[in-house]
Structure 1
């Protein structure tokens, strides 16, 4: 856990300290954390350190709905400290900066370079699969002292906080880098200073903000901006956009399922009891790997993790043993059986690429294959076309029954080309009753939509599967 003086923090971020110096042990962005009311937030770093709440530093961020500065007066009155960028709130215990969000990034970079310099960092980005790959990288490095991004804290706020929460004895730092706007990945890379950068794939997620696939590619490739000397870039060799990418000077390592010229590639892929088995090949050896999840896309994620750990110098057996312990997080392709119905709950997020992967997993199921699909967000002008394409994916993967929910349900139905029941976003309770009546023992059912569509809550209202 960090232990810095306010004066050192002020120097690191180019700010001005007002009042006496004191020790700071954690930076928080939620005002509830400052007085210990939000215990889960404080312990997000994953350790059991007892926190003296007077040693917390509140970053007064300006959000879309709430300006964090409105909490500063109360926080200071309780003996705490704050980083601010509004001069009206200057008082003892504050550090005045030009921009609080930028200051967080500067502090994260400072801490990485001065206190976690010996930690080996794996940076992960991509259109889909970032979080699952991060979790697979974490288990691949299970023999080391790791610190990883919690949940999806992969933004210009979340990534610096993740670094600041890292124990000083961290050996492997695993950081996920996400983006909404142009230029963010390069900034995150400069903060993280990765030794290895992984790009899982290039897809249409966030195309509404980025404009086109080429801009998305440029943004993702910019993860090399902060790559350390002799750093390595690991790319998906099956991705038609990334394969053969030679416009960067760094060492490039490819992983693939279909491209046998890749540095790490897999064949003999099979499925049994909610697990996937495959043979991994590289120039040194071939090894059998088992991961407790389903799908070729997860084989690719495991290949990326194996490649990163191998390039970092880990023993193959330790990596293979680690991958066996992988557990899907939250509603990311959580597969379970209830009342003899196989449920694939993949509700955390959705893009055309992840929809295709999820439908491919459904196609491997037993019995009737039922797909419950919802809206994909942030697709901009291409939304109608891309939702229709998802319907086509469902047809190609031999979905027996398709149920579409949301504003773009009719476009999914049009692409499916067969009978499809549709519901609006305000009809999810009606949809739940319909699905509950429809499902039978022996069915395999997939739930997939963007997180804001809240299919997690939908599942909880269907008695046969929850």
Structure 2
């Protein structure tokens, strides 16, 4: 973080410095006292379960030199205590102020699925030439985005900021802190249908990411998505990427996906190049295209872009591919929605070997609204009709409809299993998987499907 004086902080947040402590420079911002380091500003957020005011002393002991508080507290050494009305509002006002001090391009991205993978691909590509800062973990909300912005250092040249949402107005709030120069939407699915009620509302909520763009700035969208293909830029430039669309400035064709990964041809302004990526799945072609376009936009060569793609490494529980006792396990358990589930199943099919068997071990999909049963049945049907998945192992209450959908569409009952919990599913797998099999683990975050992987790693199947 570029240092900010505590006098500036008080002014920007409308706060009052308590006890007239001597002004000091703040070199980082945190909301967790355990993450406080020398020169930090600790923001004492009061949450539903934990009150940050109870951890002020801990933060100062760890090196915090200033604290934003919502109530008067006793002085602690030389730490500067700044009293504000609302710490959330103060943090966000300070984020906007800090963003305006930055003179680097910020890339913001959102989407129903693929946004974290796309973010990490963009980072891996652009870091071949630039010092790049990106969102870490799942810090894509009204607290995470400020922390990401404050993580931008003096030598940072480009920042990539992921934005999540589950209701209208949330991304609008985030972009008015980050003020991106380039905004990306990967796709429009049905995640958060429970709150937003329709894909039209999901589309509307995602498009809030364009609100701050001006005529010199740019939106990049998946032009093959039926919703995103309608995005028109009267106030900003719109770039569409996709597959086999020669009228797009960047498109991919001649796609080959197998257990070795992806190979495809990408064309840009009449120039075509072969591209390789270590991870299979057509959905990953789209993820790569965003990274490729931005690489070209920021003047990287195709060789630099290819090197960046090959150096990409997935975040936790996202296409984490492991070999355990000869069994290949695809741990894609971070989250799930119907589109992401089908994409992951496609990867499972790509990895299946002639000698081995493919196991789809899939848990409930949450937050997909009133049509939840329909979506779960569709996934079961998709698996049955593929004829490429040998075993369906459905886990959880909602997952019973994977089971029902597969049976209704002709999948052999001897290869369709339903379990209420992960322990039962893990026990079944320990008894039935063998060398050269390939296994997919996927489900919504609340299912914690990675626990099955942890059980298998400890077992002696």
Question: Normalized against structure 1, the TM-score is what?
Answer: 0.89
CA distance in structure 2 between the aligned counterparts of 1:259 and 1:438, rounded to whole angstroms: 45
Within the candidate set 62, 65, 90, 2:46 is matched to 62
CA distance in structure 1 between the aligned counterparts of 2:214 and 2:230, rounded to whole angstroms: 22
RMSD: 2.1
For residue 233 of structure 1, give the secondary structure of its aligned residue in structure 2: strand
Within the candidate set 44, 48, 66, 1:81 is matched to 66
Question: Are 2:377 and 1:388 aligned?
Answer: yes
1:108 aligned residue: 95
2:398 aligned residue: 408
Within the candidate set 121, 129, 145, 2:114 is matched to 129
CA distance in structure 2 between the aligned counterparts of 1:181 and 1:188, rounded to whole angstroms: 12
Change (3 A) 1:147 1:228: farther
Aligned residues: 443
1:16 aligned residue: 16
1:440 aligned residue: 434
For residue 421 of structure 1, give the secondary structure of its aligned residue in structure 2: strand
In the TM superposition, what is the alpha-carbon distance from 1:206 to its structure 2 partner? 1.4
1:297 aligned residue: 283
Question: Are 2:255 and 1:266 aligned?
Answer: no
Tell me the alpha carbon deviations over residues 311-346 of structure 1, each in whole angstroms, 9 at most, x when there is no partner: 233333322221121112221012233333221110
Tell me the alpha carbon deviations over residues 56-115 of structure 1, each in whole angstroms, 9 at most, x when there is no partner: 221121222222223346656887432123x3548673222232122222212211211x
Question: Are 2:420 and 1:424 aligned?
Answer: yes
Tell me the alpha carbon deviations over residues 279-305 of structure 1, each in whole angstroms, 9 at most, x when there is no partner: 001223111111111111011000011
2:270 aligned residue: 284
For residue 301 of structure 1, give the secondary structure of its aligned residue in structure 2: helix
Question: Are 2:110 and 1:139 aligned?
Answer: no
Question: Are 2:359 and 1:370 aligned?
Answer: yes
Residues 320, 332 of structure 2: 8 Å contact kept: yes
1:6 aligned residue: 6
Residues 196, 308 of structure 1: 8 Å contact kept: no
In the TM superposition, what is the alpha-carbon distance from 1:400 to its structure 2 partner? 1.6
Within the candidate set 74, 82, 86, 1:99 is matched to 86
Residues 215, 237 of structure 2: 8 Å contact kept: no
Residues 128, 201 of structure 1: 8 Å contact kept: yes
Map 1:220-231 → 2, pairs under 5 A: 220-231=206-217
Change (3 A) 1:174 1:74: closer
Question: Normalized against structure 2, the TM-score is what?
Answer: 0.90
Tell me the alpha carbon deviations over residues 251-303 of structure 1, each in whole angstroms, 9 at most, x when there is no partner: 11111124443221111111355321110012231111111111110110000
CA distance in structure 2 between the aligned counterparts of 1:423 and 1:236, rounded to whole angstroms: 37
In the TM superposition, what is the alpha-carbon distance from 1:228 to its structure 2 partner? 4.8
